[in-house]
């Protein structure tokens, strides 16, 4: 498809933490951005367009990258909230997950993808015990997903992980797979050593839930005399990079390891609040020069797959944590939600809007009251923006969502029906 956007304002990444708006056109040819610039510089009549769209002064920007989630957990949304963490996990989440079929995971991932599209999310970084049906869902919908192994003592084996690595990487340009494991507290030493070996063999980064709660870190220290970061570093996990999800409770030495290894901390602010885990030290990550990305976490804990809420929280929680209203400004949060996430997920080919990059982009409606007046687009976006401002979401050159309609090869009502049938079956 060749698509021409005109009368647009295009959000350009000037350098890390700085953005500008450029008036003009953006052309998509196939799955890539073919041109960004002034209407006068190049003649649109030379191209046979499938679609020419008047952006009416609205803003084209890179899609958000949801850098940590468990998409299939949509079925547990609003099923077990307002409970203590251990009761939530052991009495509610685990017993229901044991009832899931591979087909269930496929449908539940499609529901999550629908929600990502409404929030302008164009790629997700997904950890789940059954990634294959999730990968099929992404490919069928035309959505981009990087998976990481959710290996632990109760699911997957090292040989299965190696097989998944080949299967999912080979499935499509839209899917990728990194090494990983669930967390130190669910994974025996033998498996962690195996992940390190697989990472070395495949030259893969390694990802895990890391230091989400104080009690997790304390228990790890008791077992190993090390924090989860120190332990995984000692096991030689990070020869090819990677990082941690959550990263709420970090020691000085943990910061040092992340900085020296060039690892990324993925922060999950809404989930960390709702499960009473804490507020991550995002300001310190930035001052130490450590990359930060943003994830929604899964819908069982958050419960919303919405990058607008997360961006606001990343900035606002840092301010209250540090007692300083000036720290982690809007531009930092926007950078994390776009280019920061892309870096974590190995998607630097769609981290910003530039000629030649993959066309993973969204169109933001500024003609709604929450985006007016136009004092500052980035601050409007991060502090008062909402999924209601997402006019269009394009992944890999294809429009998958536009004006509240979905183009993923199936009707949303069908997906809702399947999700409700799954929870209905489980209730019996």
Binding positions for a copy of itself, 183-212, rule CB under 8 A? none
> Could you tell me if 357 and 349 are in contact, meaning their C-beta atoms sit under 8 angstroms apart?
yes
User: Measured between alpha carbons, how far is 378 from 155 in angstroms, rounded to an integer?
Assistant: 42
Q: Which of 16, 42, 44, 83 forms a contact with a copy of itself (CB under 8 A)?
A: 83
- Rank residues 117 and 231 by Cβ distance to a copy of itself and give the closer one: 117
Instruction: Name 264's bridge partners.
Output: 243, 291
How far, CA to CA in Å, does 79 sit from each of 91, 115, 383? 12, 18, 29
Asked if residue 304 binds a copy of itself (CB under 8 A), the reply is yes
Residue 299 lies near a copy of itself (rule: CB under 8 A): yes
With contacts defined by CB under 8 A, name the span among 17-25, 47-55, 253-261, 415-423 that binds a copy of itself.
415-423
Say whether residue 315 binds a copy of itself (CB under 8 A). Answer: yes
Helix (H) or strand (E) holding 231: helix 228-234
Interface pick for a copy of itself out of 43, 46, 326, 428 (rule CB under 8 A): 326
Scan for tokens 């929450």, then name that residue: 370
- Shortest Å, Cβ 205 to a copy of itself: 30
Of 222, 252, 373, 428, which lies in the binding site for a copy of itself, with binding defined by CB under 8 A?
373
Token reading at 130: 């059954």
Quick one: 293 or 313, whose CB is closer to a copy of itself? 313
Place of tokens 């009502």: 413
Report if residue 124 touches a copy of itself, rule: CB under 8 A. no
79 binds a copy of itself (CB under 8 A): yes
CB of 51 to a copy of itself, least distance (A): 23
- Residue of the chain from 137, 206, 337, 422 that contacts a copy of itself (CB under 8 A): 422
DSSP state of 50: S
Distances (CA, A) of 73 to 70, 94, 155, 179, 183: 6, 11, 16, 21, 18
190 vs 403, which CB is nearer to a copy of itself? 403
Q: Measured from the CB of residue 364, what is the shortest distance to a copy of itself in angstroms? A: 14
Q: What is the DSSP letter of 184?
A: G
**Measured distance CA(364)–CA(61) in Å, rounded:** 8
DSSP code at position 136: H
| Choice from 143, 255, 312, 335 touching a copy of itself (CB under 8 A) | 312
Q: Which of 15, 45, 78, 252 binds a copy of itself (CB under 8 A)?
A: 78
Q: What is the DSSP letter of 119?
A: T
Closest distance of CB 246 from a copy of itself, Å: 13
Residue number, 167 or 384, with CB nearest to a copy of itself: 384
CB of 402 to a copy of itself, least distance (A): 14
User: For residue 54, is it left (φ>0), alpha (ψ between -120 and 50) or beta?
Assistant: beta
HSE toward the beta carbon, residue 109, CA cutoff 13 A: 33
Residue 279 makes contact with a copy of itself by CB under 8 A: yes
Work out how close the CB of 84 gets to a copy of itself at its nearest, in angstroms, rounded to a whole number.
5
Integer CA distances (angstroms), 4 to 24, 46, 52, 117, 351, in order: 11, 12, 5, 21, 20
Q: 89: Cβ–Cβ under 8 A, 6 or more apart, which residues?
A: none
The DSSP code sequence of 98-115 is: TT--HHHHHHHHHHHHHH
Looking only at residues 352 through 371 of this chain, which bind a copy of itself when binding is defined by CB under 8 A?
367-370
Least CB distance from residue 184 to a copy of itself, whole Å? 21
Out of 11, 183, 330, 353, the residue judged to bind a copy of itself by CB under 8 A: 330
12 binds a copy of itself (CB under 8 A): no
Which of 99, 372, 405, 409 touches a copy of itself (CB under 8 A)?
372
| Residue 87 CA from chain centroid, whole number | 27
Write out the binding residues for a copy of itself, residues 377-396 only, by CB under 8 A.
379-380, 383-388
Q: Which of residues 91-120 bind a copy of itself (CB under 8 A)?
A: 111-112, 114-115, 118
Smallest CA-to-CA distance from 134 within 184, 79, 73, 206 is with: 73
Closest approach of Cβ 267 to a copy of itself, in Å?
Answer: 14
* Shortest CB 235 distance to a copy of itself, Å: 31
Query: In angstroms, what is the minimal distance from the CB of 228 to a copy of itself?
Result: 20
* CB of residue 214 to a copy of itself, shortest distance in Å: 9
Taking 3-state DSSP, the helix, strand and coil percentages for the chain, each rounded to the nearest 5, stand at: 45, 25, 30
Return the SS3 of 281.
coil
Distance between the two ends of the chain, CA-based, in angstroms?
47
């Amino acid at each position: 498809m060749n698509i021409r956007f005109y009368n647009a304002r295009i959000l350009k990444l000037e350098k890390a933490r700085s953005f500008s708006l450029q008036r003009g056109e953006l052309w998509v040819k196939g799955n890539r951005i073919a041109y960004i610039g002034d209407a006068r510089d190049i003649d649109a009549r030379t191209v046979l367009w499938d679609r020419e769209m008047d952006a009416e002064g609205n803003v084209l920007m890179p899609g958000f990258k949801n850098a940590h989630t468990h998409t299939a957990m949509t079925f547990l949304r609003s099923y077990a909230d307002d409970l203590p963490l251990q009761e939530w996990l052991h009495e509610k989440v685990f017993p229901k997950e044991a009832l899931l079929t591979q087909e269930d995971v496929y449908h539940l991932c499609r529901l999550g993808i629908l929600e990502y599209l409404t929030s302008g999310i164009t790629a997700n970084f997904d950890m789940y015990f059954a990634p294959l049906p999730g990968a099929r869902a992404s490919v069928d919908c035309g959505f981009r997903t990087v998976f990481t192994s959710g290996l632990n003592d109760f699911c997957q084996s090292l040989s299965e992980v190696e097989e998944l690595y080949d299967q999912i990487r080979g499935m499509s340009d839209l899917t990728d797979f990194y090494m990983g494991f669930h967390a130190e507290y669910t994974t025996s030493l033998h498996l962690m050593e195996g992940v390190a070996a697989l990472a070395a063999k495949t030259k893969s980064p390694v990802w895990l839930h890391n230091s989400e709660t104080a009690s997790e870190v304390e228990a790890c220290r008791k077992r190993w005399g090390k924090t989860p970061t120190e332990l995984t570093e000692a096991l030689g996990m990070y020869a090819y990079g990677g990082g941690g999800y959550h990263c709420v409770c970090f020691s000085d030495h943990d910061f040092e390891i992340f900085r020296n290894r060039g690892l990324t901390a993925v922060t999950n602010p809404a989930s960390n609040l709702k499960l009473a885990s804490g507020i991550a030290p995002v300001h310190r990550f930035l001052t130490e020069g450590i990359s930060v990305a943003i994830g929604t976490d899964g819908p069982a804990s958050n419960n919303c797959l919405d990058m607008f809420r997360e961006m606001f929280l990343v900035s606002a929680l840092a301010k209250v944590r540090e007692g300083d209203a000036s720290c982690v400004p809007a531009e930092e949060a926007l950078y994390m939600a776009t280019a920061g996430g892309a870096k974590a997920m190995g998607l630097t080919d769609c981290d910003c809007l530039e000629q030649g990059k993959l066309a993973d982009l969204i169109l933001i409606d500024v003609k709604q009251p929450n985006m007016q007046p136009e004092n500052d687009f980035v601050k409007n976006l991060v502090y008062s923006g909402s999924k209601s401002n997402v006019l269009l979401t394009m992944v890999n050159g294809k429009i998958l969502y536009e004006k509240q309609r979905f183009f993923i090869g199936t009707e949303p009502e069908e997906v809702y029906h399947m999700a409700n049938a799954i929870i209905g079956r489980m209730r019996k």
